[in-house]
Amino acid sequence: MQRTCSVGPTRLRVGFTAVVFAAAGFVILAFAPAPLSAQSLTCDLTGYTPVAGVSAAMSGGLLTVEWAGAGQERLRLRLGLVEGAPQIDQFAIQAAGGDWVIGARHAAFEFKIVEGLRRISNQQLVPLRALDVELTSEVVDRYKWDVFWDAPLDLREPVPANNPPPIEGVAHQPGLPRSPGEVRRANASFDVSTCRVAREGRSLTVAFPGMHLGSFDGELVLTVYSGTNLIRVESVAATDLPSVAYKYDVGIVGLDLDDRSAVSWRDIANKVQSYSMKGPANQDDVVLRAANRLVVAETNGMAIAAFPPPHKFFWAREVEINVGYNWYRKGDDGSFGIGIRQGEQEVVDRYLANWSLYSAPPGSEQHMAGFFYATLGDRTDAFEAVLAFTNGDVYRSIPGYKVLGSHYHTDMGRKLLATGSVDSRLSDFEVLRSAGINIAGPVDRPRDPTQLEEQHWLFRGAERHSDDDFMVMPQMENTNLLGGHWDLLFSHPVYYADERADGTPLVTDHPEYGRMYNIGSTEDMMTMIEAEDMLVFMPHPRTKGSTGYPDAVAGTPQFLSDWYRGVGWRWGMGSDLSERRLSDHRVIPLLDDMNNWIAGTSLKLKSLLAITETYFKAPGDDIYANGPVSYVRMDQLPEPGDYAPIVSALRDGEYFVTSGEVLIPSHAYEGQGAMMAVVADVAWTFPLDFVEVVYGDGTTTTTHTLSAKDLPAFGQNTFRIPFDATGQAWVRFAAWDVAGNGAMTMPVRVNR
């Protein structure tokens, strides 16, 4: 398929890799005392145009950036160079009518990187071999970037081939065992002499070329946003090596340490913990299993928070266990630092081979970002301000919608069967409910010899976990008949067995469970699906056990059925930080491809379903960060056991998918042909980046992007975007923020 893109104003990529944690009024200073060899900084300001609320100016070899923060606060950041490295000469914040309070002087940002070797997994190779795909180096290189079962930092001996573990893809990965020489560690270094400044809307970026981070070369980029104390700091860099997988850590170091200084966080039980750093200096970073991925430093009368992008920071895993995403470090008796990090392995043996890291295809521009937020209040004010960006890690309620989370491997039927009581409560669903999810879809995999019994316990247990505020909606993941992996979503309980002996009718009566289906072929399965009003979604398309799918079945009767609704949307299976959107390279283009495949038919358009793909859950797990959701249009939940209204809304595309920070409560299309327009209501927390109208004519997908950088954080707006629908077959709308979070509506047909 061809793909074109018409884009609005170009966003300047500012690179700055060791100096960026200053959000609402704090300065960062290097861990060691500031070097004495300061040098004069020169800056290119040709991309900067003055505007109320944000300004930049050069004086005495220093760049001063000043902007309006939240409420009546103002922030000022003065940047310079010391021995070729960007430094924060001064960071200050001012309350309305008050004096400037200097948070830090001669501060620095700290970047670290760990690199390994990216490999394809056996789990990906198996379906490709089954499709008779010739496994050339080009084919392997194409699919390895979307790997799931890869752990480049795991140097353990592989499990012997004659005793494979019970997890697909763990054994027999090509190229094992890994060599210690594959793992490289580095801190950022700089040879900076100049910077670039540019403004677009309310955002101002400062880029420092000359940053080096392991095998990556690029820029350190600092972005501030008028109207909020938020600061984004990122290393924007690329590597030329052929198979790089990596993780990064970012921190602000050199914060002033005095009798009032402290580091605070909430533990996984959501209790506030604090450390005054009265002990000796730390040799290493102190890892924190902090709730909400958030740590706060109090220094010089300010509270400074460090936190990662809430979703883009994570590659795909099979559990949401918090492995520790924050750190602090006492540098000496006068300084300390805080920051964000990714761990180096899972904490449960079964999932050690699932620590895949980020993918960095050669030449791709990787954005390794962190956020900082400073306030003149105490830690409580900082916690409150930062948690507002993710609604406290709870999916926000919208009138007329229910929040659906899908594809949870909870083994509900099997677990209940093991307890001996269908009335047993499972904590998995209590955790999901606490995250603001109204409908939870467990994907049990009942198989012989207890297939029907497990189905029965799943159906009955789902009803007992449901009420008027929360519903468990049974789903089942299958790996046979339809190609790749695929989920069944039930409109009501339906019993079926994965076999049909010669002479056995498709439908029989079971003495205990009543009506049941005996499935022996693709035709049998599709007959049951259509007769019983089920839906099919492929959960992890073009990767894992669905590598090569759904492309390989695009012309089959099962894929062309209106009950085969589409594919699952989840980021992180091949996390690539060059993506502007979540799953920008794999799932979103597939959505558009699928609808171009069927553009000339009368079939319903294909859709995305937000999925999670994770197993057991417990309090303290990072549920919100690791899974998107679907907002389904309905006023109230149906009665337990009756999922037909949900299925109907999903089949008709009456929903949107989101990471949680961007919402699209309503949208409509007006006019026709060259005079068509989308009208969409959008609400957001992080500063909005852009909105887009995407449409296809059966061959080419066109994306019309409109910058939204002139809008403030925590806003809402009605967008009216004209586009030429002449000759187009379908259209959809999406909105994305500066942290990579976003929401997408489902495609609809035009010119019909």
DSSP string covering 369-412, please?
EEEEEEESS-HHHHHHHHHGGGGGGSPPP-TTEEEEEEEE---H
**How far is the CA of 747 from the CAs of 65, 606, 743, in angstroms?**
42, 8, 13
Predicted pLDDT at 322:
96
The class that CATH gives domain 401-660 is alpha beta
Distance, CA of 263 to CA of 709 (rounded, Å) = 33
Residue-wise pLDDT tens digits, 569-615: 999 887 899 999 999 999 999 999 999 999 999 999 999 999 999 99
Q: Which residue type sits at 436?
A: G
Predicted pLDDT at 97:
84
User: By percentage, how much of the chain surpasses pLDDT 90?
Assistant: 85
**What does the domain layout of the chain look like in residue ranges?**
2-114+187-377, 119-186, 401-660, 664-752
Q: What are phi and psi of 105, to 5 degrees?
A: -135, 145
Predicted pLDDT at 172:
59
- Say which CATH topology domain 2-114+187-377 has: Beta-galactosidase; Chain A, domain 5 (2.70.98)
Residue-wise pLDDT tens digits, 391-410: 999 999 999 999 999 999 99
Predicted pLDDT at 119:
95
Residue-wise pLDDT tens digits, 449-489: 889 999 999 999 999 999 999 999 999 999 999 999 999 99
Residue-wise pLDDT tens digits, 35-74: 446 789 999 999 999 898 999 999 999 999 999 999 999 9
Predicted pLDDT at 34:
40
Predicted pLDDT at 447:
78
What mean pLDDT comes out for the span 144-160?
86
What mean pLDDT comes out for the span 612-619?
92
Predicted pLDDT at 752:
56
Distance, CA of 742 to CA of 127 (rounded, Å) = 31
Predicted pLDDT at 452:
95
- Say which CATH topology domain 664-752 has: Immunoglobulin-like (2.60.40)
What mean pLDDT comes out for the span 292-298?
97
Predicted pLDDT at 165:
46
What mean pLDDT comes out for the span 303-324?
95
Choice between 159 and 657, residue whose per-residue pLDDT is larger: 657
User: By percentage, how much of the chain surpasses pLDDT 70?
Assistant: 93
Predicted pLDDT at 574:
78
Domains 2-114+187-377 and 664-752 share a fold: no
Predicted pLDDT at 156:
85
Angle, alpha carbons 682-719-707 (nearest 5°): 90
Average pLDDT of the chain is 91
Of 276-280, 352-356, 431-435, the range with the highest mean pLDDT is 431-435
What confidence category does residue 13 fall into, taking pLDDT thresholds of 50, 70 and 90? very low
Choice between 737 and 34, residue whose per-residue pLDDT is larger: 737
Q: Given a cut of 90, is residue 11 above it in pLDDT?
A: no
Residue-wise pLDDT tens digits, 504-514: 999 999 999 99
Task: Enter the pTM of the model.
Answer: 0.93
Q: Given a cut of 90, is residue 444 above it in pLDDT?
A: no
Distance, CA of 332 to CA of 279 (rounded, Å) = 10
Predicted pLDDT at 175:
86
What mean pLDDT comes out for the span 289-313?
95
What confidence category does residue 159 fall into, taking pLDDT thresholds of 50, 70 and 90? low
Decide: helix, strand or coil at residue 324. coil
Poorest-pLDDT segment among 207-211, 216-220, 352-356, 439-443:
352-356
Residue-wise pLDDT tens digits, 539-556: 999 999 999 999 999 999
What mean pLDDT comes out for the span 723-736?
97
Decide: helix, strand or coil at residue 229. coil
What mean pLDDT comes out for the span 82-102?
92
Predicted pLDDT at 176:
86
Distance, CA of 491 to CA of 39 (rounded, Å) = 69
Predicted pLDDT at 106:
87
Predicted pLDDT at 573:
85
Distance, CA of 497 to CA of 503 (rounded, Å) = 15
Decide: helix, strand or coil at residue 630. strand
Predicted pLDDT at 23:
32
**How far is the CA of 65 from the CAs of 109, 156, 235, 252, 679, in angstroms?**
17, 49, 19, 18, 36
Of 2-11, 250-259, 445-454, the range with the highest mean pLDDT is 250-259
